[in-house]
Amino acid sequence: MQYTIFDTPILRTVLHWIGLLLMKMLGWRTEGDPPDFPKYVLIAAPHTSNWDFFYTMLLAFIYRLNVYFMAKKELFRWPFGYGSKWLGMIPIDRSKAGNVVAQTIQAFEENERLIMVVPPSGTRKKVMAWKTGFYHIANGAKVPIVMGFVDYRRKTGGFGPSIMPTGDIDADMAVIKDFYKNVTGKNPEQMSGKI
């Protein structure tokens, strides 16, 4: 995978402490610990605001994670392309959904370590239900799904449980839905009522 902000030795340490300081100054706290899996899909939910990326980055700095994000290809136009890649973003063409799943599974197969952050709603706008690409990626790559969250009501971000996809999407999504039922996004009116 590409070289990112999370790979930069001195900066990584500085950003860890800045992340801790900013979270404390903003009145936020962390909860849970990231699992010790070499590869996994990290759900970033709920996704209702651009602020979600800010808090997710702070959490990555605090936990010293080397994460990658799928981002719309438009964020890679000049002059932002290099900066977007340095932040761990991987360009995707959202008009080709099946291709995204296949490419991400391939990335998991080609790398010994990979944490891929995926917002299941796919957008900050209100959607009727979550997209299931994150599930198909994890199931196809045979990697766990880890439930990451940013809860604006409790001012808490961190890690919940993880599950290994069984292939029974309905049963697995019921477990995921149960975890997120009490997690509140920045704009709750945009949260999907259906996962």
Residue 27 lies in a domain: yes
Residue 65 lies in a domain: yes
User: What integer is the mean pLDDT of 42-60?
Assistant: 89
* 117-173 tens-digit pLDDT: 988 764 445 545 677 889 999 999 999 999 999 999 999 999 999 999 999 999 999
Q: Does residue 158 come out as left (phi exceeding 0), alpha (psi in the -120 to 50 range) or beta?
A: left
pLDDT confidence of residue 189: 67
Residue 157 lies in a domain: yes
**Number of domain units in the chain:** 1
Residue 195 lies in a domain: no
Find the domain containing 183 and state its range.
5-190
Pairing of strands 89-92, 67-72: parallel
* 62-93 tens-digit pLDDT: 999 999 987 777 778 787 777 888 888 877 77
